[in-house]
Structure 1
Amino acid sequence: MSFRDNLINARSHIVFLVALGCGLGLVLQLEKNMPADPPMPERTSAQPVPAEFSAPGLSPAPIAAFEAIEPLPLAITGSSRPEDLAHARIAWTYFENNTHPETGLVNSADQYPSTTMWETGSYIVAVISADLLGLIDSDEAEERLGRVMDTLASIRLFDDILPNKAYNVQTGDLVDYSNKPVERGLGWSALDIARAVGTLSHAEQSYPSLAGKVAAVMDHWDLDQMVEDGQLIGGNMAEEGLRRDQEGRVGYGQYAAKAMMLRGFDMVRAYRAEDHLMVKEVEGQPIPVDDRLHRNVTPAFTVSEPYVFDGLEFGFDARSHRFATTIYKAQEARWRETGQLTAVSESHLDEAPYFVYSTIWGGGAPWAVMTFQGERLDSKRTVTVKTAFAWDALFGTDYTQELVSALAPLGDTDRGWPEGIYEADGSTNGSVTANTNAVVLASLAFRVHGPIARADQ
C-alpha cells in the first residue's frame, strides 16, 4: 500500500488528533489572554492560591485546595480477568435485548422505548467497548453504529435546530419524557448533545470508514446554536417561548467541553472549573462543588458521574484527576468510618420518582440524595453498579474490588446489570438501564486498553 493510501486510511485518526490538539491549544491560549472577569461572590471556603495558579484578573480561587492532592495512579492492566469477560457479557445482553432495528436506537431503560442523546452516547460507548473486549466483531460494531448515525442524520429536530430532549426509539419521533408524541418537542439539552458529539468522535476515530456518516450528523445538527461565548447553551420551553439557558456545572461542564472541543468549538469558559468553584470538606477530602444551581433549579451537588465518564472516555487531565481522586476517597472514607459500602452517583430508581442524584455533597449537606426539584430522598441512596465498576477500573484499590465483589451477584444474564443495592435495607434497585450497562462495558475495556479516545482497535 502506498504512503498516500495509508494517509487516506488514517485520515480520521489524523483529524481527531489535530482537532484535539487545536482545541486544547485554543483553551490554553484564550485563558492566557482572557480579560478580567467581574469579581466573583465571596466564597467562605476559598483558600489562597499561589500566583502561578491564578488566571489574570481573577481573585485567588478554591482551586488551591487541590494542588496538594496526589492523584491516585490509574489501574490500566492490559489484560482482562476471567470474571471481567463474564461481567461484560452480562452488560452486552442489555443492548442485544433493547436495540431497535428500525432506527438502530436503544431503550434508555429495559423495554422502555424512549431515549435521549445522553443514552444514545452511552450506546455508542457500549458498542466500541464491546468490540474492544471481543464480544462482537468490528463488522457488527460498524453496522450498529452506522445505523444509529443514519438515524441521527435524518431525525426531525426541535425547531429544525438540534435534537429534541427525548425520542421514541421505535419511530424516531419527538416525544416528551413520558414517551408521548409532541409536535414541536421539548427543546434541547446541550449537555446531552455534547455527550453524543463526543461519543461520535470516539466512533469516528475507532472506525475511519464511518467518518462520512459522522459528518452527515454534524451537518444535520446546528451545533453553533448551543455554543455561545465559550459556554454551552440549552433550549428550554417556557411560557414566553423558547428560553436559552447556560448549561453545565463543575464536572459535567468540563466533560462536555472536551467533547465539543473535538469538533473545533471554543469552550474556554465551559472548561474553566475555577470560575464557579467552591470547596466543601467531606470525610476529610476537599470536594469540588459548583456555586450555581444545577440547571437553575437544583441546589449545587457533586456526583461521581462526569468524572467517571471523563476518565474512561477521554483520560483525566491534571485537574479532573485530582477532583476524581478526592471524590473517590471520600466514598472510601465513608465506608471505613461507617462500614457502609458507598458508590454514589446519579441513579435511576425502580419506583417513583424514578431518578435521583446521590451526591457526595448536595443541597448544603454531605451524602444528600436529591430529586431534580431539590427535595431530599436519602432513603433511596444506592450502592451503584456503574460507579463501583468504574472506580475499580480507574483506580483498582482493595476497596473498589470489595465493591465489585459485593455487587457481582446482581448480574442478570437475561437482562443485564441493575442499578445496584439500596443502602436502607439492602434490597436491589432493580432498574436496568443503558447508562449502567454502558459504563460496565467501558470500565472493563478501560482495564485493558485505557481511555476510549486513545484505544486502538
Structure 2
Amino acid sequence: MSFRQNLINARSHIVFLVALGCGLTLVTYIESGLQEESVHVVEEVPDAIAAFEDVTPLPLAITGVSTPEDLEYAAIAWRYFQNNTNPDTGLVNSVDNYPSTTMWETGSYFVATTSAQRLGLIDEAEAVDRIGLALDTLIGMRRFDDLLPNKAYNVNTGELVDYANQAAERGLGWSALDIARLVGALGIVQNNYPVLAPQVADLLAQWDLEQMIEDGQLIGGNIREDNLRRDQEGRVGYEQYAAKAMMLFGYDMYRAYRAEDNLMVQDVEGLPIPVDTRMHRGVTPAFTVSEPYVFDGLEFGFDARSLRFSTAIYSAQEARYANTEILTAVSESHIDVAPYFIYSSVWGGGSPWSVMTFTGERMDSKRTISTKISFAWDALFGTDYTRELLAAIAPLGDPERGWPEGIYEIDGSTNTSVTVNTNAVVLASLSFRAHGPLLRVDR
C-alpha cells in the first residue's frame, strides 16, 4: 500500500488534532488530496479492528468541578513534587529520594505541574518558573552522541548516567518512546503557557528528532558492545500514544499510528483486548496494560479508536471484579522489592492477567491494584466500579510523601514505592475531571 494511501487510511484517527489546533500542517496535507475520495477514507476494515465495532464507547465523566476531596487528594500528590524537585536543575526524582530521571518521567513532571496549576494548587507564575527552570537544564544537558537525550540523567547534576545512576561518559542510547512522551508534554506546555514556547522551540531545535523516526515508525538507539543499534520501538497502545505526541509537531508517524498493521485480538472476560502481534523486546509475546490508554485520554483526549480500545480494556477489569470479587486496576508499575518494576497486564505473555518482569519472567504474586489507574479510570469514566477502586485506594495517601503505587492483590498489603509517574497521573486525573484533557486550553 502506498505512503499516501496509508495517510488517508489514518485520517479518521488524526482528525482530533484539528480540534486541538495542533499538527495543522500534516492534517492540511492529508485533506488537500482527498476531495471526492473523502467519503470512503477506509476502503477495508481489517478483521482485528472490526472486533471492536460492537464495543459501545463509555461516556466521559468530566464534571467541570473539583470537590474538596479531589483537592485533598491532589495536594497529597503535589507533595511528591515539592519533596523531590531539585532547586538547581528543576528536575524531579523518578522515585522518592532517588535522584535519577528519564525523559518519560520529566514529561510526567510537566504534566503534573500543568495539572496542579489548573487545580489551583499553585499559581501560573510558579508553574512557569518550575517548567522554565527544567527547560533551561534540558537545553544545557549533554546529549547521547550529540543527537538525542540519553536514556537516564542524574537529577542533581544533569549528567548522563546508567540505570544505576552512575556517570556514563557516552550514555546508554535513547528511548524513542520516552522522548516522544516528553515531546507530547512539551506540546501541553506551549499550549498552556505561551510564554514558554520560545524555550520549547530552543530545546527541540537541539534534538535531532529525525534520528528516531524512520518510515513513519519510532526508532530507538541502543548500545550493544559499544556499537549503536537502531531498533523499532513501541507496541500497540504505547506506539499510537507516542505517534500522537510526535504528530503535534508535524512529524509523519503514519505507520506508528496504524494499530491495525500489528494487531490481534484476545478475548478476556468476554471483551476484545487489543494486543500487538510482535514480540516484546524480542523475548515474550507483547502485553496490554492500561497506561498508554489512560495517558491518551487524560492528556490529548481520545479519538474514536482509542476510546473503543480503552472502553474494552477498562471493561475487562471491571468484569474480572464482577466474576471474582477481586478489585482489578492493572498497568506497569514500580514495586518495593526486586526487580522493582513489573508489567501487570490485561493480557500478556500468552495469557490474561499475567504479570511480567522487564525480562519477560512471570511474577503474578506482585499484581498491584494500581493507584494511578484507579484514579485515571474514575476520572475518565466515573462508574460505580471506579468509585469502589478509589474507596480502596484512598486510605493510602500520605500527606508527607504522596501516593504509593497501590495494593498487592495477593494479601492486601501496600506496594510502598512512591513515584513521579503515579503522582503525576493522580494530578492529571483530578484535573481532567474538572477541566478535560490537558491539551485543551481553558483561557
Where on the TM-score scale, by shorter chain, does this alignment land: which range? over 0.9
**CA distance 1:109–1:30, shift in 2 (3 Å):** farther
Q: How far off its partner does 1:449 sit? A: 0.5
> Does structure 1 residue 409 correspond to structure 2 residue 395?
yes
> For residues 178-229 of structure 1, what are the alpha-carbon distances to aligned partners after superposition, in whole Å with 9 as ceiling and x for unaligned?
1011100000000000000010110000000001100111011111110111
2:172 corresponds to: 186
Among 7, 21, 35, the residue aligned to 2:24: 21
Matched residues in 2 for 1:186 and 1:299: separation? 25
> Does structure 1 residue 101 correspond to structure 2 residue 87?
yes
Mapping of residues 107-186 of structure 1, within 5 Å: 107-186=93-172
Q: How far off its partner does 1:299 sit? A: 2.2
Contact preservation (8 Å) 1:248, 1:295: no
Give SS of 2:273's match: strand
Among 210, 223, 226, the residue aligned to 1:237: 223
Q: How far off its partner does 1:60 sit? A: 3.4
> For residues 405-426 of structure 1, what are the alpha-carbon distances to aligned partners after superposition, in whole Å with 9 as ceiling and x for unaligned?
1110000000000000000110
Among 435, 440, 446, the residue aligned to 2:426: 440
Q: How far off its partner does 1:23 sit? A: 3.3
Contact preservation (8 Å) 1:345, 1:384: yes
1:215 corresponds to: 201
Contact preservation (8 Å) 2:317, 2:346: yes
Contact preservation (8 Å) 1:24, 1:261: no
**CA distance 1:317–1:17, shift in 2 (3 Å):** closer
Q: How far off its partner does 1:22 sit? A: 3.2
2:191 corresponds to: 205
> Does structure 1 residue 65 correspond to structure 2 residue 68?
no
**CA distance 1:307–1:390, shift in 2 (3 Å):** same
Q: How far off its partner does 1:455 sit? A: 3.2
Matched residues in 1 for 2:177 and 2:401: separation? 28
2:8 corresponds to: none
**CA distance 1:222–1:334, shift in 2 (3 Å):** same
Contact preservation (8 Å) 2:76, 2:402: yes
> For residues 129-168 of structure 1, what are the alpha-carbon distances to aligned partners after superposition, in whole Å with 9 as ceiling and x for unaligned?
0000000000000000000111111100000000000000
1:42 corresponds to: none
**CA distance 1:253–1:28, shift in 2 (3 Å):** farther
Letter in 2 for 1:176: D
1:305 corresponds to: 291
Stretches (4+) displaced over 4 A = 14-18, 24-32, 51-55
Letter in 1 for 2:115: S
Q: How far off its partner does 1:294 sit? A: 2.2
**CA distance 1:329–1:24, shift in 2 (3 Å):** farther
Give SS of 2:211's match: helix
Contact preservation (8 Å) 2:23, 2:247: yes
Letter in 1 for 2:256: A
> For residues 388-413 of structure 1, what are the alpha-carbon distances to aligned partners after superposition, in whole Å with 9 as ceiling and x for unaligned?
00000000000001100111000000
Contact preservation (8 Å) 1:115, 1:167: yes
> For residues 271-302 of structure 1, what are the alpha-carbon distances to aligned partners after superposition, in whole Å with 9 as ceiling and x for unaligned?
00000000000000000000001233442100
**CA distance 1:117–1:31, shift in 2 (3 Å):** farther
Contact preservation (8 Å) 1:26, 1:266: no
Q: How far off its partner does 1:61 sit? A: 3.2
Matched residues in 2 for 1:309 and 1:27: separation? 26
Matched residues in 2 for 1:425 and 1:295: separation? 31
Residue ranges of structure 2 left out of the alignment (5+ in a row): 1-16
Matched residues in 1 for 2:122 and 2:34: separation? 43
Q: How far off its partner does 1:248 sit? A: 1.0
Q: How far off its partner does 1:101 sit? A: 1.2
1:382 corresponds to: 368
> Does structure 1 residue 370 correspond to structure 2 residue 356?
yes
**CA distance 1:17–1:69, shift in 2 (3 Å):** closer
Matched residues in 2 for 1:253 and 1:54: separation? 23
**CA distance 1:25–1:74, shift in 2 (3 Å):** farther
Letter in 2 for 1:23: L
Matched residues in 1 for 2:263 and 2:33: separation? 19
Superposition TM-score, scaled by structure 2 size: 0.92
Give SS of 1:357's match: strand
Q: How far off its partner does 1:52 sit? A: 7.5
Matched residues in 1 for 2:30 and 2:401: separation? 43
Superposition TM-score, scaled by structure 1 size: 0.90
2:72 corresponds to: 86
Among 268, 290, 302, the residue aligned to 2:254: 268
Matched residues in 2 for 1:279 and 1:447: separation? 31
1:338 corresponds to: 324
Matched residues in 2 for 1:330 and 1:29: separation? 40
**CA distance 1:368–1:258, shift in 2 (3 Å):** same
**CA distance 1:409–1:245, shift in 2 (3 Å):** same
Matched residues in 1 for 2:253 and 2:349: separation? 27
Among 420, 425, 429, the residue aligned to 2:411: 425
Contact preservation (8 Å) 1:313, 1:452: yes
Larger displacement relative to structure 2 (219-228 or 276-285): 219-228
Matched residues in 1 for 2:61 and 2:185: separation? 23
Letter in 1 for 2:328: T
